[in-house]
Structure 1
Amino acid sequence: MTLIKREIDGAIATITMNRPEKRNAMSDAFIDALEEAFTTLPDAVRVVILTGTAGHYCSGLDLTEHKERSAEEGIYHSRNWHRILDQIQLGGRPVVSAMFGAVIGGGLEIAAATHVRIAEPSTIFQLPEGRRGIFIGGGASVRVGRILGADRMTEMMLTGRKYNADEGLRLGLAHYAVAEGEAMELARTLAGKIARNAPLSNYFMVQALTRIEDMSKSDGLFTESLCAALSQTTPDAQEGLHAFLEKRAPKFR
């Protein structure tokens, strides 16, 4: 079985996590295939939709394949996950998550690395690692922690609390809550809108904003100025201005 499926339609790629018998749980082969799906995208692809199959987005680590590791092996394993999820968040292309069913553990870590998140009513957000005697290792302490704040995330992990789609929307785990079966439709609509943006503007939004969050105020403002100055020198910036003045839709390169 193909663990990760990929379809390309013009400027939009759809990547589907595909272990239906395991609720798309993550094995080492699964996460390696996910990396390959992102790192081998053609240059023509501007936006990615990431989703699951058979009613679930991703249920996290496949505990049936969980191996005992030394501390040294464990840190290398965790850091590999960090590297791969960085490819999703900082690879330069906006990623839209169409979510339903389990968005649990590592699945939530994957979702938090994406830039636009859409949740159907069946969506369940959870970080159950504490109930398994383990700790998050795929970046949740940073990505999910920045969404929820350390206090709420601590409670979520201590109690194994589950959040539904509406709660996730309110907390920022999702940006949109839609009816059952509508996540992919909205994902395609939003991906099409994003793909029509100027490529360099999209690139800066994906690359710069999360880094600016790590910076001091003065460093962040300076970085913002650099991004603004570089983007406004491009032909796309001229096209955007002319299109506005001529009351038409811009046609970016």
Structure 2
Amino acid sequence: MTDNLLFTVEDHVATITFNRPEKLNAATPAMSKAIVEATEECNRNDQIRCVILTGAGAKAFCAGSDIAELDSYATPWDFRNRTDYCDAIHHLLKPSIAAVNGYALGGGLETALSCDIRIASSNAKFAAPEIKLGWIGGGGMAAFLAHSIGMSNAAMMIMTGDTIDAARALAWGLVSDVVAPEALMERARTLAGTIASRAPIAAETAKLNLRAAFSMPLDKAMQYERDLQTICFATEDAQEGRAAFKEKRAPVFRRR
């Protein structure tokens, strides 16, 4: 790990915090490596049921990769094969929430888009500014934005590089909720706590199902969903859920 990335676990919820506020939480190669390590821990630790991503300070969630570090790659091929923090977040097995405080730019926006749910503070701003520097995003920017906000809105963001505010992000469907800055982490933790209280295997399966819904033809996606439902139905947690319903009590899920 690195001091520029914080990782905590409490009540089945892991929180990963970009901790470089003096640089708008821009990610360095060392931070990317640390994010990979943190996500691997989230994936293998059965006590973690939901993951929150956020940034330290009030100004930024993450401003993407530190531009000053990009010239450290010896060749374009080295850059192509770099350790990528957006990929690590995208490959989380557990449900994930981006709590966006301030700027989410470039790779920071891709990080938020890689999460399953995005909530934002009212001072949040979003942009895909790479075009202003001569390149485009490489962490799924076009695909994620097109799925989230539609082709025209995605084109506007990617082709201009201009920022949108939290209100527009909410109207476009980029985020699910906008709250006051001081209420952001409380909202994220409450939401994460709710997800963590649900059957863990079902929550992870729901994540797989949602991903499939975007990448499969409708008939195949529906067949896959039925198969996933059958797998969940056969778990001990599903038996516990049915028993708890009959006995009029809260279920106790054990990820089995």
TM normalised by structure 1 equals 0.92
* Aligned mates of 2:205, 2:89 — CA distance in 1: 15
CA contact (8 A) 2:142 2:158 kept: no
* Aligned mates of 2:92, 2:16 — CA distance in 1: 15
1:230 — aligned with what? 231
* Aligned mates of 2:7, 2:131 — CA distance in 1: 33
1:137 — aligned with what? 138
Compute the displacement of 1:92 (Å).
1.4
Identity over the aligned pairs, expressed in percent? 35
Equivalent of 1:54 in 48, 57, 79: 57
What code does the residue aligned with 2:18 have? M
RMSD: 1.7
1:212 — aligned with what? 213
CA contact (8 A) 2:17 2:54 kept: yes
CA contact (8 A) 1:4 1:37 kept: no
| Structure 2 unaligned regions, length at least 5 | none
> SS of 1:5's equivalent?
strand
Compute the displacement of 1:69 (Å).
5.7
CA contact (8 A) 1:90 1:207 kept: no
CA contact (8 A) 2:8 2:15 kept: yes
Q: Which moved more, 1:109-118 or 1:42-51?
A: 42-51
Query: Cα deviation per residue 1:82-118 (whole Å; 9 max; x = unaligned)?
Result: xx43432332111111111111111000000111211
What code does the residue aligned with 1:244 have? F
Query: Cα deviation per residue 1:90-147 (whole Å; 9 max; x = unaligned)?
Result: 3211111111111111100000011121100110011111111111111112222211
* Aligned mates of 2:159, 2:64 — CA distance in 1: 17
Residue 77 of structure 2 corresponds to residue 72 of structure 1: yes
TM normalised by structure 2 equals 0.91
> SS of 1:182's equivalent?
helix
* Aligned mates of 1:34, 1:145 — CA distance in 2: 25
* Aligned mates of 1:16, 1:53 — CA distance in 2: 6
What code does the residue aligned with 1:179 have? A
CA contact (8 A) 1:99 1:117 kept: yes
Compute the displacement of 1:17 (Å).
0.6
1:35 — aligned with what? 36
* Aligned mates of 1:165, 1:177 — CA distance in 2: 7
User: Residues 107, 190 of structure 1: CA spacing in aligned structure 2 closer, same or farther, 3 A cutoff?
Assistant: same
* Aligned mates of 1:48, 1:94 — CA distance in 2: 6
Figure out how many residues of one structure are paired with residues of the other and give that number: 249
| Structure 1 unaligned regions, length at least 5 | none
Equivalent residues in 2 for 1:69-218 (5 A)?
Answer: 70-77=75-82, 80-81=83-84, 84-218=85-219
Query: Cα deviation per residue 1:9-58 (whole Å; 9 max; x = unaligned)?
Result: 13111111111111100121111111111112333111111110111110
